[in-house]
Structure 1
């Protein structure tokens, strides 16, 4: 599994985690923000009226209402990114990472507006009578002009559709169930595969009904799960109110300085906070990825711009509201930089040669931080690692979750202290069934669960996280199954959807007991494979987007002459 993760990390380093990727994402969004004169601000209030159905027509074609399309899209974005993703961003980049998540969301509100408008404009009716849309349809049907001649961009549409199918697994199926199962196991002690099996059956039952059943479920599920989660968050924030102001200061104060080492946290650089904040922000709200337009294509609307306005609300709800509350919960609780007892995941662990390492001095922190950051790597352990009654007797030091592990105990496959030799190559155990446990930093969903125990509900708070994560992540898996089947419809017709659904449900089950880090890495790759073709297509059609908005307001004034417009 380690070799798989190393291979995936190498691929991801050239795309999703590459230095240019966040600039490409934010650059396109910032361009449209200026080019279209800040539509995310000008049209925000009007969007609220649209989503209420104030300007609907009974003759509008589509399968869902504006609100149902919004909740379906939100159910696809409000998931592990809001619970596990925020915790991972803070773990990697420190408090400033949350600031960059919010910046990404603010710019992403405009990107969502553009991609949904263009995708809705070029949607089609599928063979089964349902509406089919998304970036692959505007790539196929729009007039892409180059030197005065139309260019066929169907090849780009095919690339995007294939990437969407892959991302349905990498974003919607695999990381969602993995976060659910690990959280449920940590909270209730239920085996990973049992959680996976039960939810896989429920997922299959829901997605067989198609978009109408999905929309009917998500319009009730999204508001309910948000309410439950908010109650848990504010129970922590209010119980630790004295830490709220320092948390806000850290989020803003660390933007241009990086986050200093604190507790088990070895510090975060300015660049890493920016990179991880943008990366996790994209994973959370998916602005520019091209997923939400697929859900919005089903909405009953005769004007694509009106549905684009509805999409403006998504990043605001998903990231600016929910992710901010999650971040403040984590920071005010204080658990984000504390070491906690946990079982080490192989992909998060390294073994260093020697024992002269410490995180209690400035020099020791600097050496460890530079090693983890790849600036000045320390010597990795190679050779036989001697373990007696669970304790490592060889001169070696364990790094786990970007922190110096303490009180490390090695156990065998029946959960008893191990005695024997473990072969290690380049700091990684080789062909070993033994597990390492001890004190280290925690990230992703388990970190958020720990934070919820620091509120008014005490230890019961972690149950809210488990329930919230279950609802959030399960709804995301439902929505992404729809995104995948629309991509399959585009590529191979409606008949291929049933085969996709079978594979989707099986993969959902299998991912419930796989390594978390590998799944997050895979997710980063699939996000990038969708985002890049979509950003290229959006920028190419910038002039058409501007003219489409102008035409919308002309038609709107004729239909509703007494309504004041924010054009």
Structure 2
């Protein structure tokens, strides 16, 4: 595995600079092109989500709120709990600032990409809408751009695996339960492999349709776990309120530490922030348009505004809460290994010695719900590359990688996903930037009709 990891490491520097160019450079271009329209209409976006403009006869399968909830549910989870810890472990508190900046730019990217998903969605053989980068690339840019769509889908076959989720859940279990020392009679029993196999079996039963009720239960538990996580974080911040302001000051001061010892220096720190923010809220990645393209609406602008709220909720709110918890607890100075360990230390120290156990249950709920639902993206990619029947075979490959992820190192899993994400960003952002003027034309029409009371 070390050979594979070294190979991935050698490719990432090239891909991540392209990702930085497209996500930050392209995102800033979109901010100016939109003249700040998404940000100026933040309140209007909330009204759209509330259902004020919903029409039952509009085409689509789900409401604006359901689309946003699905997209946010796919991003709020381990990316916010362990992704932030990984960022701080590797780059220090200053990296959080660059995650914020990427998220703010990402809001504009989501506005354009998810608006395009409504403009260029297609009906499949089953009557349901097909949406996402591959469809607005081929329909919006023409058949000559088909290679970009195929490139996106091929990268998606790796990027849309549940390997990070499995890896971090396994690491959580091993650190909290410490089974090899707790159950001494089993000696050096391979717990990681066992966890991987069990998760593979459970996921198989659900995604192949055998136990749909389990998936519904797990999905239903997630909102409760999110609330529980919020309460836990607020308790930690309330009991350490005197350290909140110094924590924010540390983030800002370290963000512009041009003499940082982080590998790659200052620009390396910026790139790390971009990578972890994209990993957290998927801005520029192209996954959210697949969900938002199912929305019941005729208005691309409305769905773009709804989607814009995703990065704000995911990174500006949730990731910030995690980051402040880690910093005020001092866990970022104690963690000796990468991954979720840092967050576990923060919770254990700050919640009366039992916070790590609480976090383990929260992580378990996030992990299971993610594994049960994340295969949708990969299935859509393989279906586009081949057909719907072959697309379903993605689930077999998806399940097989779960056991691998449980025993793999954090670095290997991160490098694999980071590379795939960077490669997915490139064709998606090329398409979004190219097609952005069409969204602007839709904005002009929408604003005029809104003023006239036609919406």
Aligned pair count? 443
**Aligned-residue CA RMSD in angstroms?**
2.5
Task: Please name the residue that 1:181 is paired with.
Answer: 170
Task: Please name the residue that 1:391 is paired with.
Answer: none
Q: Report runs of 4+ in structure 1 exceeding 6 Å deviation.
A: 212-219
SS of the residue 1:164 aligns to? helix
Instruction: Note if contact 2:111-2:308 (Cα within 8 Å) is conserved in structure 1.
Output: yes
Task: Please name the residue that 2:183 is paired with.
Answer: none
Is residue 299 from structure 1 mapped to residue 288 from structure 2 by the alignment? no
Instruction: Note if contact 2:158-2:417 (Cα within 8 Å) is conserved in structure 1.
Output: no
Matches within 5 A, 1:118-267: 118-142=116-140, 144=141, 152-169=144-161, 173-190=162-179, 191-208=191-208, 220-258=220-258
Is residue 317 from structure 1 mapped to residue 313 from structure 2 by the alignment? yes
The alpha-carbon deviation at position 555 of structure 1 amounts to 4.2
Bigger mean CA offset, 499-508 vs 546-555: 546-555
The alpha-carbon deviation at position 458 of structure 1 amounts to 2.0
Separation (CA, whole Å) in 2 of partners of 1:38 and 1:479: 33
Measured against aligned partners, the alpha-carbon deviations of 1:264-311 in whole angstroms (never above 9, x if no partner) come to: xx8994333212111111111110010110111122222222111110
Separation (CA, whole Å) in 1 of partners of 2:73 and 2:281: 10
Which of 50, 67, 88 lines up with 2:48 in the alignment? Answer: 50
Matches within 5 A, 1:167-566: 167-169=159-161, 173-190=162-179, 191-208=191-208, 220-258=220-258, 269-338=265-334, 441-455=336-350, 457-557=351-451, 560-561=453-454
Separation (CA, whole Å) in 2 of partners of 1:214 and 1:99: 38
Matches within 5 A, 1:25-104: 25-104=23-102
Separation (CA, whole Å) in 2 of partners of 1:268 and 1:185: 32
Separation (CA, whole Å) in 2 of partners of 1:515 and 1:109: 32
Measured against aligned partners, the alpha-carbon deviations of 1:533-558 in whole angstroms (never above 9, x if no partner) come to: 01111111121121122223344455
Q: Larger RCO: Structure 1 or Structure 2 (Cα < 8 Å, ≥ 6 residues apart)?
A: 2
SS of the residue 1:15 aligns to? helix
Instruction: Note if contact 1:111-1:287 (Cα within 8 Å) is conserved in structure 2.
Output: yes
Q: Which has the higher helix share?
A: 2
Bigger mean CA offset, 29-38 vs 198-207: 198-207
Instruction: Note if contact 1:239-1:454 (Cα within 8 Å) is conserved in structure 2.
Output: no
Q: 1:152 to 1:214 in 2, by over 3 A?
A: farther
Measured against aligned partners, the alpha-carbon deviations of 1:444-492 in whole angstroms (never above 9, x if no partner) come to: 201100110121x222100222122222333333342111111122221
Q: Which has the higher strand share?
A: 1
Task: Please name the residue that 1:358 is paired with.
Answer: none
Instruction: Note if contact 1:228-1:464 (Cα within 8 Å) is conserved in structure 2.
Output: no
Measured against aligned partners, the alpha-carbon deviations of 1:222-268 in whole angstroms (never above 9, x if no partner) come to: 4322211112222322233332222111111122225878xxxx899
Task: Please name the residue that 1:382 is paired with.
Answer: none
Measured against aligned partners, the alpha-carbon deviations of 1:346-396 in whole angstroms (never above 9, x if no partner) come to: xxxxxxxxxxxxxxxxxxxxxxxxxxxxxxxxxxxxxxxxxxxxxxxxxxx
Separation (CA, whole Å) in 2 of partners of 1:207 and 1:15: 32
Instruction: Note if contact 1:139-1:156 (Cα within 8 Å) is conserved in structure 2.
Output: yes
Task: Please name the residue that 2:187 is paired with.
Answer: none
SS of the residue 1:152 aligns to? helix
Instruction: Note if contact 1:85-1:284 (Cα within 8 Å) is conserved in structure 2.
Output: yes
Separation (CA, whole Å) in 1 of partners of 2:219 and 2:175: 29
Task: Please name the residue that 1:15 is paired with.
Answer: 15
The alpha-carbon deviation at position 215 of structure 1 amounts to 10
The alpha-carbon deviation at position 106 of structure 1 amounts to 0.6
Bigger mean CA offset, 201-210 vs 524-533: 201-210
